[in-house]
């Protein structure tokens, strides 16, 4: 019965899904489903990305929707070959509301119209390999290092938090994204994580660079615009260090992380028109954070602080470079005396 051509089921562990053993490979299936009724009563005025109660129309709205987490179906394959631990993860996260094409794909505000279908956020696609002596390498798409612990320790992770587009719900709500931290996002990456030594562990990686995104929209006046960019000759770099320890019944975790990306070919809109001006200029985005979590019996407390330059708000690089900064770069180059 222990031969490799038999498929066996491992002992069930609550919260860990179902694990099937077939030869040298463990196949784990896990997932979750949630749903909430939400009522949003905004105070009027312009909608604020990440605001606790949003809605530019000023009207109340009702929604039956997912919370900060969508539903999830996660497949994990694990094996050990020649002293190496190898894992592959495919994480599919569908929402219950109709999907609508837009800049944020499955996470764009939904389309509550008949005959619609929900979207799937295929946010996790990665493989890891390593061991306890060498450390672990990860290649694929997964949660970023900078700000990752902030969202994983969000008290609203299992509920709703800020509703966002409640009248046309997308895959998820916003939780506290934009109200205390910037979304870490799920980003293509190649990262390395060291072995844990005396409770200390470090990670560093190269990430797919993301565009500087002009979230304010084309209807805003020129002072509300952010510069935008789509040119990247170098990757984004992220890193993190964590320390975990137990003192009797108290568990503590401290972390710090950073992000660096060079935004190139910045462009901005002049006088509220759709004509881009000021090209071939660049800015260095730098950000860092520090956080701590303390657990005692059934109680937990989290403190978090971050600071960035060009980082943006709510999403990474959303309105991160002000038009005045881009304009100043352009004027500085325009007014430079000729070289003789």
Query: What average pLDDT is seen over the chain?
Result: 85
Residue 45 lies in a domain: no
What sign has the CA pseudo-torsion 217, 183, 285, 234? negative
- What's the whole-number mean pLDDT along residues 309-333? 70
Q: Please check whether residues 168 and 233 belong to one and the same domain.
A: no
Tokens of 308: 């960035």
Q: If we measure between CA atoms, which residue out of 163, 205, 150 comes closest to residue 67?
A: 163
Q: pLDDT at residue 128 above 90? A: yes
Angle at 146 between CA 143 and CA 151, to 5 degrees: 60
Q: Please check whether residues 182 and 233 belong to one and the same domain.
A: no
Is 165 or 3 the better-scoring residue by pLDDT? Answer: 165
Residue 318 lies in a domain: yes
> How many angstroms separate the first and last alpha carbons of the chain?
86
Q: Please check whether residues 88 and 133 belong to one and the same domain.
A: yes
pLDDT in tens, 153-193: 999 999 998 888 888 888 889 889 988 899 999 999 999 99
Residue 181 lies in a domain: yes
Residue 98's Cβ-side half-sphere holds a number of Cα atoms within 13 Å equal to 10
> How many domains in the chain?
2
Write down which residue in 195, 213, 242 finishes a domain. Answer: 195
Tell me what pLDDT residue 68 has: 93
Residue 50 lies in a domain: no
Q: Please check whether residues 172 and 33 belong to one and the same domain.
A: yes
Residue 249 lies in a domain: yes
Tell me what pLDDT residue 186 has: 96
User: What is the residue whose two structure tokens read 């960035």?
Assistant: 308
Write down which residue in 162, 195, 228 finishes a domain. Answer: 195
The DSSP output letter for 326 is: H
Q: Please check whether residues 146 and 25 belong to one and the same domain.
A: yes
Q: Please check whether residues 20 and 158 belong to one and the same domain.
A: yes
- What's the whole-number mean pLDDT along residues 269-283? 58
Tell me what pLDDT residue 219 has: 46
Q: pLDDT at residue 221 above 80? A: no
Tell me what pLDDT residue 56 has: 60
Q: Please check whether residues 275 and 160 belong to one and the same domain.
A: no
Residue 124 lies in a domain: yes
Residue 85 lies in a domain: yes
Is 321 or 217 the better-scoring residue by pLDDT? Answer: 321
Neighbours of 96 (CB within 10 A): 17
Q: Please check whether residues 215 and 157 belong to one and the same domain.
A: no
Q: Please check whether residues 159 and 217 belong to one and the same domain.
A: no
Tell me what pLDDT residue 280 has: 57
Tell me what pLDDT residue 269 has: 61
Q: Please check whether residues 205 and 177 belong to one and the same domain.
A: no
- What's the whole-number mean pLDDT along residues 134-141? 97
Share of the chain above pLDDT 70, in %: 82
Q: Are 238 and 256 in contact (CB under 8 A)?
A: no
Q: pLDDT at residue 79 above 70? A: yes
Q: Please check whether residues 90 and 134 belong to one and the same domain.
A: yes
For 191-259, give the DSSP string.
Answer: EEEPPPBTTEEEEEEEE----BB--S-TTS-GGGPPPBB-B-SS-EEEEEEEEEEEETTEEEEEEEEEE
Tell me what pLDDT residue 337 has: 44
Q: Please check whether residues 257 and 318 belong to one and the same domain.
A: yes
Is 103 or 160 the better-scoring residue by pLDDT? Answer: 160
The three-class DSSP label of residue 101 is: coil
Write down which residue in 165, 195, 225 finishes a domain. Answer: 195
For 8-77, give the DSSP string.
Answer: EEPPP-TTS-EEEEETTEEEEEEEE---EEEEE---SSS--TT-SS--TT---EEEEE--SS--EEEEEE
Residue 82 lies in a domain: yes
Residue 272's Cβ-side half-sphere holds a number of Cα atoms within 13 Å equal to 6
Query: The domain containing residue 316 runs over which residues?
Result: 197-340
């Amino acid at each position: 019965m222990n031969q490799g051509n038999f498929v066996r089921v491992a002992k069930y562990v609550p919260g860990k899904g179902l694990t099937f053993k077939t030869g040298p490979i463990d196949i784990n299936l896990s997932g979750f489903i949630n749903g909430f009724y939400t009522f949003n009563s905004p105070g009027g005025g312009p909608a604020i990305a990440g605001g606790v109660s949003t809605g530019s129309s000023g009207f109340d709205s009702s929604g039956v929707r997912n919370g900060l987490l969508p539903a999830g179906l996660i497949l994990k394959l694990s094996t050990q070959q020649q002293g190496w631990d190898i894992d592959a993860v495919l994480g599919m996260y569908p929402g219950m509301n109709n999907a609508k094409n837009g800049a944020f794909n499955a996470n764009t505000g939904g389309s509550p119209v008949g005959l619609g279908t929900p979207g799937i956020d295929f946010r996790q696609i990665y493989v890891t390999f390593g061991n306890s002596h060498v450390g672990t390498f990860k290649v694929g798409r997964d949660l970023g290092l900078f700000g990752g612990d902030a969202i994983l320790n969000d008290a609203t992770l299992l509920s709703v938090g800020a509703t966002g587009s409640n009248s046309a719900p997308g895959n998820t709500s916003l939780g506290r994204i934009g109200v205390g931290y910037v979304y870490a996002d799920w980003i293509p990456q190649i990262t390395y994580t060291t072995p844990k030594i005396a409770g200390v562990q470090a990670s560093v990686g190269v990430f797919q660079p993301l565009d500087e995104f002009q979230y304010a929209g084309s209807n805003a006046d020129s002072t509300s615009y952010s510069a935008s960019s789509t040119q990247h000759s170098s990757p984004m770099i992220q890193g993190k260090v964590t320390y975990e320890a137990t003192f009797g019944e108290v568990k503590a975790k401290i972390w710090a992380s950073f992000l660096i990306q060079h935004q190139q070919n910045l462009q901005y809109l002049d006088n509220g028109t759709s004509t881009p001006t000021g090209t071939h200029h660049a800015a260095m985005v730098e950000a860092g954070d520090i956080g701590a979590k303390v657990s005692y019996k059934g109680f937990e407390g989290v403190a978090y602080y971050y600071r960035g330059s060009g980082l943006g708000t709510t999403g990474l690089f959303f309105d991160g470079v002000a038009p005045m900064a881009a304009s100043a770069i352009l004027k500085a180059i325009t007014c430079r005396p000729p070289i003789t």
